[in-house]
Amino acid sequence: MSVIETAKDIYDLVKKGATIELQERLMKLREEALALQEENLSFRTKLSELEAKLQLRDSLTFDGALYWTQNADKTKEGPFCQKCRDGKGLLVRLQNGRDRTSTDWVCIECHTTYGRSYPQSLSDDNDLFQ
Ligand SMILES: [Zn+2]
């Protein structure tokens, strides 16, 4: 039973013989409990968001030019755009730029291109996290 339900039950029980002042106090208690419940939900949501950000930050590695993440099985994923990550906090997966430009990687968000010295296959170099 939640605090709000308990307060409502108490309110209903004392309603018959209680004074107006007591009924008002119980209503106030119920409103305050509801506000606390909403605040608690807000904190839980914020905590989940922060945990997800922390998990992402812990899995993020910068190789000097690009960002990579590490999966639970220790394989790396990416690369992700350095400009978007550092500037806007976004994790934007880079696209193969060889078909469209003379560079290896291109960001579809900010159109930054990255040079030819990066592996196109994730299996090319998996020792960034070791
Ligand atoms: Zn970008």
Task: Write out pLDDT tens, residues 6-52.
Answer: 777 777 777 777 788 888 888 888 899 899 999 999 999 999 999 99
Mean pLDDT, the chain, whole residue set: 82
Residue 47: inside a domain, yes or no? Answer: yes
For residues 22 and 45, state if they share a domain: yes
- CA 83 / ligand 1 centre spacing (Å): 5
Ion ligand 1: protein residues whose beta carbon lies under 5 Å: 81, 83-84, 92, 107, 109-110, 112
Instruction: State how far the Cα of 14 lies from the Cα of 49, in Å rounded to an integer.
Output: 42
Residue 83: inside a domain, yes or no? Answer: yes
Structural Rg of the chain based on CA atoms: 27
- CA 124 / ligand 1 centre spacing (Å): 23
- CA 73 / ligand 1 centre spacing (Å): 27
Give the pLDDT score at 12: 77
Residue 127: inside a domain, yes or no? Answer: no
pLDDT tier at 1, thresholds 50, 70, 90: low
Residues of the chain with pLDDT > 70: what percent? 85
Instruction: State how far the Cα of 16 lies from the Cα of 71, in Å rounded to an integer.
Output: 62
Instruction: State how far the Cα of 65 lies from the Cα of 78, in Å rounded to an integer.
Output: 12
- CA 65 / ligand 1 centre spacing (Å): 12
Give the pLDDT score at 13: 75
For residues 11 and 43, state if they share a domain: yes
Which residue range is the domain that position 72 belongs to?
63-114
Chosen domain end from 13, 40, 56: 56
For residues 84 and 48, state if they share a domain: no
- CA 47 / ligand 1 centre spacing (Å): 27
Residue 46: inside a domain, yes or no? Answer: yes
Which tokens belong to 85?
Answer: 């990550």
Q: pTM here?
A: 0.58
Residue 128: inside a domain, yes or no? Answer: no
Residue 89: inside a domain, yes or no? Answer: yes
- CA 109 / ligand 1 centre spacing (Å): 5
For residues 67 and 52, state if they share a domain: no
